[in-house]
Structure 1
Amino acid sequence: MRRKLLALSLVFNVLLLASVGLLEHRVLMHDARVFWHDLMGTSGTPSVVVPMATGEILIVVDPSADVHDISPYIYGVAKRDPGAVAGLDATINRWGGNPSSRYNWVIGHAWNAASDWEFRNLNYSDQGGSESDRFVSGDRSGGMASIITIPATGWVARSDKNSDQSLNVPGDGGPAISSDGAVAGYDPAANRQRTSVPSLPRKNAPFVLNPDSGSAAVYQDEWVNHLRTLFGSAGAGGVGFYAIDNEPMLWSQTHRDVHPARVGYDELARTYLQYAAAVKSVDPTAQLLGPESCCWTDYWDSELDRGTDNFATQPDRNAHGGMPLIPWFLDAARQHDAATGTRSLDVLTVHFYPEARGVATDTSNPDIDALRMRATRALWDPTYVDESWIKQPVNLIPRLKSWVAAEYPGTRVGITEYNMGGGDSPSAGLAEAEALGIFGREGVYIATYWTAPKPGSPAWFAFRMYRNADGKQGTFGSQSVRATSSASDTVSVFASKGSGYVDLILINKDLQAAHNLTVGLGKVSAVGPVQRFQYSDANSSAIVRLADTSASASLTLEVPRASITLLRVPVAH
């Protein structure tokens, strides 16, 4: 009987971990998104179809114009097992997502999955020891920088026991009615005791490198000290980046068992600044990321603004001078830092998913695929009216940069969670290639895909076209330069220079037809033949090295349907 029970227990744990593994991939692409879609009434399948261009398309490159550095950190992922992205040549890996808010670093392998898995504690890794130590070590072995998410809800898992579960959790949070975070009809005290231990920004006592796993409280500055001791300071090659928690405006949804109180402007700033200061006090060389905002609504309003009228009256915003949330947050950080003399916010970070229904999923059909590729324009194009409930230009990267310029100059901009959807369809690869090109051209500092492209998928090869198309570690250049297309909705172009090449990425977003191009290289001083690499649905399992072609002032070529083509033009150093 004992053997049967052990066998059944093993089967249960395997099924649980398999389910949680799937959750890791779907949590933030699905659950939080569905909440906002249902709340705001996201549009259905689009009826607008933008026609593809006909005739020859003109591409022009000028390596001396619009020159700026491309951050190496835009080629990022968020994969708990760094070994799972071997061969992708990603540059940075994020320890993040919903469970990171409840990770107990002292135990090292204990999380609470919150609303993603019945508010249960669990061990995602199915191993003992410290999963976060293994994460950072794996990143270092794989040549990736690390982003560590610092829990800031105030509570982390007390164990890795799946039987430790919050009970009688309400379906929603609400405004706090007491200083301990209770809301009308629900006091989280009992569930905090069942599942969690307090998590505090500072210990205010001597650090212990490896505290007892049964500690009654967990201190986040002590975690930073642990990581710094093991791996060195950020400035010496240790953990370079710390994000202060994850999507705080959804705490009263995702983590409502222990944090049912809706987060407002003041709590957001107060919590961020407390934890940011704690991190910097231990490692002043680390870069701090925040506020890790979830969605379009969170860029503008706090969760307290939701009220009972779905943001119609915005009481919290009005109580803070009518400023949208992110500009107000930037200003609060600037004022704090001016008073303390220490920068608490290095990178303004948000999350981005296309809001039109079906796009940020694995769904693939002609309408959704076309919309998926148009939706990349929300990242940069002030003329693109979002084809969702938003119904206005998102203009994300320029908007964030304008807020930074107005409220806290010198702060960089990052998108620490994004996914254009599409699953294994060609549109997924095309949209990912477009996004990576946009991040480089528009000057994003950090971008991390959620979670990581599946090996051998179109999005995986899109990454590879920028990171190692030739199989010899030949990467897209380190400086962005001007490149234009006469029909960018059909064939877009991104260009760079560095390491003896001018590189052009050509993305044919037409899923039905090939297109003829004339590539103007008159301003490129070529010193040899043009190398060509291509990924297309004609051979979706490999990047193909095409025959070199002679460089000329006007190069003509055809790009097949649904394809990504890299031209490498050798130039004098």
Structure 2
Amino acid sequence: MPPHRTRLALAVTTLLVTTGTALPAHAAGERPGAQAGRSAAEAGPALTVDLSAPTHPISPHVYGMNFTEEALAKELRLPVRRWGGNATTRYNFRLDTTNRAADWFFENIAGDNADPDALPDGSETDRFVDQDKRTGTDSVITLPLIGWAPKERAKACGFSVAKYGPQQSTDQWAPDCGNGVKPDGTNVTGNDPHDTSVEIGAEYVTDWMAHLRGRYGDAAHGGVRFYNLDNEPDIWHSTHRDVHPAGASYDEMRDKTYEIAGAVKAADPKAQTLGPVGWGWSSITLSGSDQQRCAIEGCWSNPPDQAAHGGVPFGEWYLQQMRAYEQAHGVRILDYYDNHWYPQAGVFGDDPGDAAKQALRLRQTRTLWDRAYTDESWIGQPVYLIPRMKEMVAKNYPGTKVAVTEYSFGALGSLNGALAQADVLGILGREGADLATLWSPPSSADPGAYAFRMYLNHDGKGGRFGDTSVLSTSADQSRLAVYGAKRSADGALTLMVVNKTGSDLTSPVTVNGGAPGATAQVYQYSGADLTAITRPADLPLSTRAGSATASTTFPANSITALVVADTVPPCAPTGLKAGRPTARGVTLTWSPATDNVAVKEYELSRQSAGQPVKTTVTATTRVAVADLSPGRRYTFWVRARDLAGNLGPKSQTVQVTTPPR
């Protein structure tokens, strides 16, 4: 994460559908007493779910975070957690020491929990993966492409005042460590990278991965699954300018990715790589070299590094080079195209801001998907990040997945930030992102944590948002956003509704194609209680002609999850037949049963005079029974069970008499 960005705390709520009551004045920025005079609910936009439309899987890895605390990760059964950020670019696993780069005076700082005599065992990254193993979370570990790592555990800094002269700012606890900026505002240049660091390359990465495999196994057997190919290399010239003062070029990024990603695949072929891990909007089209040079020379209309590569935007060229490597070597060294996203319209910070800023934050989530939304920042054009990245991949390197391993919309400690975060999680699933990890995660008590709870544990018993996205639309997504998904574990339909307005909105909800049940469970997070997800009364659904409808009020500034559980049992199987029996066995077959969602399994039962009923569970419609007794008469029947556990009625019976020996 670059130093000019504030690390955020978001307040978000996640529900299978979201409705919430109006938030108190202190949480939303309303004037005191505003709620008391609030008018009755307004007519809200219609919400429609179409279960007959095409669907797509929702990757569980879109619900990830960076550096999540263990208790929250365990509660959420967090799918993925990333060890990333500026300090991870220069980390020595043998010494358990990072260089904090421009974030903190370019200092080498040793880990404070490791036993130096035991290293590399017990290092920061070991402890990171240890936690993930305890919580069942996949790890993303950042590997260096920059070519430098701290040279020793002793404190050292990139811009010593004694060596390079007075500087604008110094570390109050280490006054010799400066920020690398002279009193006149110009940067210190010509410093020696060896003041803090030593050269490293593929051998270092190979050794580190061997250490990780030795402790945890390889990626195919429970070890580290994901590796980031460094962190925001296109701004090394800013964040790590003490060792890499020149912006990274097209060719440097290609060559270093070939070297390090190739080493990753040689060390652990099933490990997944993510690159080039750019910082944001400019990373999609410009190399670090062009970003640095054009910031000085104003060459944005004709960036020289891009021009030298046929005018192809950097992201597309990078993907083309990764594809060329696979074609030449038969090995895919890039699995995810990864680009960070921090909205540039000024919504950063822990403070949710005034009403205008809060409204802007909620609009800025549209940068992730909306082709009609012109970004309200210096970008000044539509971003539609996830569709854009997917289109780049499809054009330049098909089969590559898309990831956003850092993003934040701010104010996780407020309800406004929680609304934005809940909206983001819905967007990531709907738009088909493959992996995403929130930067600067919320604490367990923050509203932002409740956003994740709504998607990953809305009922406190592991209830989750569905894993297959279904077409869900709002007549006005900017006011009332809706996301829908089916849950494969039990066939439930789950909806997430985010009311982004300061008014209660009463809206019709229509499910075309037939809802799996007659009522919707309601889970809600809102300003009425920022410390809990509430459980209002169930919402009845009216079913008619293949659709289900309801009307309900979604409170102002709220998140509501609706869970329509499958309560309809399967129909009875038909066509039960028995083959020619032997003295010890017989084969039974039947036609598949039908169900409103899906049949999971069948229970084939048999009874013989004087014996208890014996049941066999099977997923097929053909069972060979081999434990019968000679010369006995048996009655067989079969029942179907669906994903939700509903057991249907018995089929017609069939009788079998086994011949004597």
Q: TM-score, normalised by structure 2?
A: 0.72
Residue 334 of structure 2: which of 338, 345, 351 is its match?
345
Q: Is the 8 A contact 1:364 1:425 kept in 2?
A: no
Aligned AA (1:310): G
Report the alpha carbon displacement of residue 164 of structure 1 after superposing the two structures with TM. Answer: 4.8
Task: Please tell me the root mean square deviation across aligned C-alpha atoms, in Å.
Answer: 2.1
Aligned to 1:555: 550
Aligned to 1:162: 155
**Distance across 2 between alignment mates of 1:525 and 1:263:** 53
Report the alpha carbon displacement of residue 303 of structure 1 after superposing the two structures with TM. Answer: 2.2
Aligned to 1:116: 103
**Distance across 1 between alignment mates of 2:504 and 2:153:** 54
Q: Is the 8 A contact 1:551 1:569 kept in 2?
A: no
Matches within 5 A, 1:45-444: 55-79=43-67, 82-83=70-71, 85-107=73-95, 109-128=96-115, 129-167=122-160, 168=164, 170-171=180-181, 186-188=189-191, 190=192, 192-202=193-203, 219-306=204-291, 307=293, 308-312=296-300, 313-359=302-348, 362-444=351-433
Report the alpha carbon displacement of residue 353 of structure 1 after superposing the two structures with TM. Answer: 0.7
Per-residue displacement from partner, 1:453-476 (whole Å, max 9, x unpaired)?
222212111111100001110110
Structure 2 residue matching 1:503: 3-state secondary structure: strand
Cα 1:120–1:359 change in 2 (3 A) is closer
Report the alpha carbon displacement of residue 360 of structure 1 after superposing the two structures with TM. Answer: 5.7
Report the alpha carbon displacement of residue 31 of structure 1 after superposing the two structures with TM. Answer: 8.9
Structure 1 residue matching 2:284: 3-state secondary structure: helix
Q: Is the 8 A contact 1:121 1:162 kept in 2?
A: yes
Residue 505 of structure 1: which of 482, 488, 496 is its match?
496
Structure 1 residue matching 2:297: 3-state secondary structure: coil
Q: Is the 8 A contact 1:430 1:507 kept in 2?
A: yes
Report the alpha carbon displacement of residue 84 of structure 1 after superposing the two structures with TM. Answer: 6.0
**Distance across 1 between alignment mates of 2:251 and 2:61:** 31
Report the alpha carbon displacement of residue 85 of structure 1 after superposing the two structures with TM. Answer: 3.8
**Distance across 2 between alignment mates of 1:124 and 1:371:** 39
Residue 565 of structure 1: which of 560, 563, 573 is its match?
560
Q: Is the 8 A contact 1:88 1:460 kept in 2?
A: no
Cα 1:521–1:352 change in 2 (3 A) is same
Cα 1:117–1:200 change in 2 (3 A) is same
Aligned to 2:440: 451
**Distance across 1 between alignment mates of 2:210 and 2:87:** 22
Report the alpha carbon displacement of residue 223 of structure 1 after superposing the two structures with TM. Answer: 0.6
Cα 1:428–1:338 change in 2 (3 A) is same
Q: Is the 8 A contact 1:79 1:85 kept in 2?
A: no
Per-residue displacement from partner, 1:367-386 (whole Å, max 9, x unpaired)?
11101011001100100000
Q: Is the 8 A contact 1:416 1:449 kept in 2?
A: yes
Matched, 1:471 2:453: no
**Distance across 2 between alignment mates of 1:339 and 1:408:** 14
Report the alpha carbon displacement of residue 566 of structure 1 after superposing the two structures with TM. Answer: 0.3
Structure 2 residue matching 1:455: 3-state secondary structure: coil
Aligned to 2:578: none
**Distance across 1 between alignment mates of 2:247 and 2:68:** 29
Matched, 1:517 2:507: yes
Q: Is the 8 A contact 1:276 1:288 kept in 2?
A: yes
Aligned AA (2:254): A
Aligned AA (2:374): V
**Counting strand residues as a fraction of each chain, which structure ranks higher?**
2
**Distance across 2 between alignment mates of 1:565 and 1:119:** 45
Q: Is the 8 A contact 1:63 1:497 kept in 2?
A: no
Q: Is the 8 A contact 1:432 1:462 kept in 2?
A: yes
- Give the structure with higher Rg (CA): 2
Which of 1 and 2 has higher RCO (CA within 8 Å, sep 6+)?
A: 2
Q: Is the 8 A contact 1:397 1:442 kept in 2?
A: yes
Aligned to 2:522: 532
Aligned to 2:119: none
Report the alpha carbon displacement of residue 548 of structure 1 after superposing the two structures with TM. Answer: 1.4
Per-residue displacement from partner, 1:381-424 (whole Å, max 9, x unpaired)?
10000000111001111111111111101100011100110242
Report the alpha carbon displacement of residue 87 of structure 1 after superposing the two structures with TM. Answer: 2.5
Cα 1:435–1:185 change in 2 (3 A) is closer
Report the alpha carbon displacement of residue 83 of structure 1 after superposing the two structures with TM. Answer: 4.9
Matched, 1:541 2:531: yes
Per-residue displacement from partner, 1:413-454 (whole Å, max 9, x unpaired)?
011100110242211001100100011001100000002122
Report the alpha carbon displacement of residue 194 of structure 1 after superposing the two structures with TM. Answer: 2.2
Report the alpha carbon displacement of residue 163 of structure 1 after superposing the two structures with TM. Answer: 4.5
Q: Is the 8 A contact 1:454 1:460 kept in 2?
A: yes
Aligned AA (2:469): S
Cα 1:562–1:81 change in 2 (3 A) is closer
Q: Is the 8 A contact 2:107 2:155 kept in 1?
A: yes
Unaligned runs of 5+ in 1: 1-23, 33-52, 173-183, 203-218
**Counting helix residues as a fraction of each chain, which structure ranks higher?**
1
Per-residue displacement from partner, 1:71-97 (whole Å, max 9, x unpaired)?
010010110754564424321000100
Cα 1:343–1:408 change in 2 (3 A) is same
**Distance across 2 between alignment mates of 1:458 and 1:244:** 32
**Distance across 2 between alignment mates of 1:66 and 1:479:** 10
Matched, 1:30 2:6: yes
Report the alpha carbon displacement of residue 488 of structure 1 after superposing the two structures with TM. Answer: 1.1
Aligned AA (2:536): L
Aligned AA (2:209): V
**Distance across 2 between alignment mates of 1:31 and 1:441:** 26
Cα 1:509–1:331 change in 2 (3 A) is same
Unaligned runs of 5+ in 2: 9-40, 116-121, 165-178, 543-547, 567-596, 598-642, 644-661
Aligned AA (2:554): V
Report the alpha carbon displacement of residue 64 of structure 1 after superposing the two structures with TM. Answer: 2.8
Report the alpha carbon displacement of residue 310 of structure 1 after superposing the two structures with TM. Answer: 3.3
Per-residue displacement from partner, 1:140-176 (whole Å, max 9, x unpaired)?
111110001001211111233335554237549xxxx
Q: Is the 8 A contact 1:530 1:550 kept in 2?
A: yes
**Distance across 1 between alignment mates of 2:225 and 2:409:** 27
Q: Is the 8 A contact 2:42 2:503 kept in 1?
A: no
Structure 1 residue matching 2:200: 3-state secondary structure: strand
Q: Is the 8 A contact 2:493 2:515 kept in 1?
A: no
**Distance across 1 between alignment mates of 2:454 and 2:298:** 43
